[in-house]
């Protein structure tokens, strides 16, 4: 038989109040844990910023490396371009030096020949043309070609050119613009001229044909109306078409004179003006003041010569031909002596 052991009643623990040091230690432990947690959070934030800075630094390093590579490539290209330019500059300097040497070895004969060509053109233009400004321009261009030549033998040539230019500038010229404007003003005044009435002979022929009928009519009307006879003659008035034809004829003569001025034809110019004066005297009233004024103006224009005596510039050309022929003879004699 088993015997049961009686259980002991539980022993109740007595509540011991904590000591003050225990509370202090617990508070310090809690504060330490919070401090450690704060420090860990700060370390995590610092680590994130450090990672961001490392990433940015890596990107900047890569960009710097890329820029350095581009700079090196640009420096290489610049050096190549500079070398190429230096080679071209050296080649140009060599070519320029060679050209200058060749130029210094050349003579001034081409300038003499060029000047003679211009002077020959000036002579032709003065003989066949009417524009003296072109002749003067050619003479001055020839003098410009001769200016760089330092040769005392050229003094007569340049003196002759100066005299030719002075003669061309001082030669009398016709005011073409003044003549054209004067003729244009005359053409506008033609519309105000009074026209001579039509001749009465033509009406007299027609009246003789019907004189018999008029006598019968007058005899019949004597018993009906009173007919009074007037001693003054009734002159017929010209029609508008007739007046227009007369004015157009004179204007056509003046237009012909304008054409002669533009073509520098002195004969046609005077002939057209004479025809215009004859048509004015025949078709318009010569006693009227406007008609007399126009005829006087046309006579004044008719006394103006359209073409003047041409001044041919020959002094400079003759002196230059003499100089060229002398230089050719001298060079040929020198070559003959060298051959001997």
For the cut 60, the answer to whether the pLDDT of residue 339 exceeds it is no
Question: pLDDT value at position 340?
Answer: 39
Contacts of 197 (CB under 8 A, 6+ apart): 235, 236, 237, 238
For 250-286, b where at least 16 C-beta lie within 10 A, e where not — what string? bbebbebbbebbeeebbebbbbbbebbbebbeebbbe
Q: Rounded to an integer, what distance in angstroms lies between the CA atom of residue 124 and that of residue 19?
A: 142
Domain extents for the chain?
30-106, 109-172+311-339
- Let me know if 295 is exposed, middle or buried by CB neighbors in 10 A (0-12, 13-18, 19+): middle
pTM of the model: 0.43
Mean pLDDT to the nearest integer, 207-235: 59
How many CA atoms are closer than 13 Å to the CA of 41, on its beta-carbon side? 6
Q: Rounded to an integer, what distance in angstroms lies between the CA atom of residue 193 and that of residue 285?
A: 8
Question: pLDDT value at position 202?
Answer: 45
For the cut 50, the answer to whether the pLDDT of residue 2 exceeds it is no
Strand partners, 195: 284
Q: Could you tell me the pLDDT band of residue 203, with boundaries at 50, 70 and 90? A: very low
Q: Could you tell me the pLDDT band of residue 336, with boundaries at 50, 70 and 90? A: very low
Q: Rounded to an integer, what distance in angstroms lies between the CA atom of residue 312 and that of residue 164?
A: 8
For the cut 80, the answer to whether the pLDDT of residue 321 exceeds it is yes
Mean pLDDT, the chain, rounded, equals 77
Question: pLDDT value at position 152?
Answer: 84
Q: Please answer whether residues 271 and 252 qualify as being in contact, where contact means their C-beta atoms are separated by less than 8 angstroms.
A: no
Supply the DSSP string of 66-81, one letter for each residue: HHHHHHHHHHHHHHHH
How many CA atoms are closer than 13 Å to the CA of 11, on its beta-carbon side? 2
Nearest to 139 by CA among 119, 112, 168, 156: 119
- Let me know if 325 is exposed, middle or buried by CB neighbors in 10 A (0-12, 13-18, 19+): exposed
Q: Rounded to an integer, what distance in angstroms lies between the CA atom of residue 66 and that of residue 77?
A: 17
Q: Rounded to an integer, what distance in angstroms lies between the CA atom of residue 36 and that of residue 314?
A: 120
Q: State how far the alpha carbon of 53 is from the alpha carbons of 41, 42, 50, 336, in Å.
A: 18, 16, 5, 97
Q: Summarize pLDDT for 89-118 with one digit per residue, the tens.
A: 888 888 888 776 655 545 677 888 888 999
Q: Summarize pLDDT for 149-202 with one digit per residue, the tens.
A: 888 888 888 898 888 888 888 877 777 778 888 888 888 888 777 777 655 544
Q: Summarize pLDDT for 51-69 with one digit per residue, the tens.
A: 888 888 888 888 888 888 8
């Amino acid at each position: 038989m088993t015997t049961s052991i009686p259980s002991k009643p539980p022993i109740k623990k007595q509540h011991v109040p904590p000591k003050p040091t225990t509370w202090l230690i617990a508070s310090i432990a809690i504060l330490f844990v919070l401090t450690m947690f704060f420090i860990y959070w700060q370390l995590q934030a610092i680590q994130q910023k450090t990672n961001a800075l490392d990433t940015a630094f890596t990107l900047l390093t890569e960009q710097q490396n890329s820029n350095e590579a581009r700079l090196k490539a640009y420096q290489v290209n610049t050096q190549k371009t500079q070398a190429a330019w230096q080679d071209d500059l050296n080649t140009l300097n060599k070519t320029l030096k060679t050209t200058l040497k060749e130029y210094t070895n050349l003579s001034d004969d081409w300038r003499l020949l060029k000047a003679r060509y211009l002077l020959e053109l000036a002579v032709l233009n003065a003989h066949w043309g009417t524009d003296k400004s072109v002749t003067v321009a050619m003479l001055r261009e020839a003098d410009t070609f001769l200016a760089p030549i330092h040769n005392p033998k050229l003094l007569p040539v340049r003196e002759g050119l100066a005299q030719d230019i002075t003669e061309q500038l001082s030669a009398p010229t016709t005011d073409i613009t003044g003549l054209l404007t004067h003729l244009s003003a005359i053409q506008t005044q033609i519309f105000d001229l009074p026209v001579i009435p039509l001749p009465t002979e033509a009406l007299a022929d027609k009246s003789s044909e019907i004189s018999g009928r008029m006598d019968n009519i007058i005899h019949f009307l004597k018993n009906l109306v009173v007919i009074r006879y007037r001693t003054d003659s009734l002159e017929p008035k010209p029609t508008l078409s007739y007046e227009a034809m007369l004015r157009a004829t004179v204007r056509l003569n003046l237009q012909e004179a304008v054409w002669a001025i533009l073509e520098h034809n002195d004969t046609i110019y005077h002939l057209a003006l004479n025809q215009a004066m004859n048509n004015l005297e025949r078709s318009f009233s010569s006693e009227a003041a406007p008609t007399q004024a126009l005829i006087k103006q046309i006579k004044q224009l008719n006394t103006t010569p359209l073409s003047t005596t041409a001044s041919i510039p020959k002094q400079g050309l003759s002196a230059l031909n003499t100089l060229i022929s002398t230089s050719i003879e001298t060079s040929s004699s020198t070559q003959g002596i060298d051959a001997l």
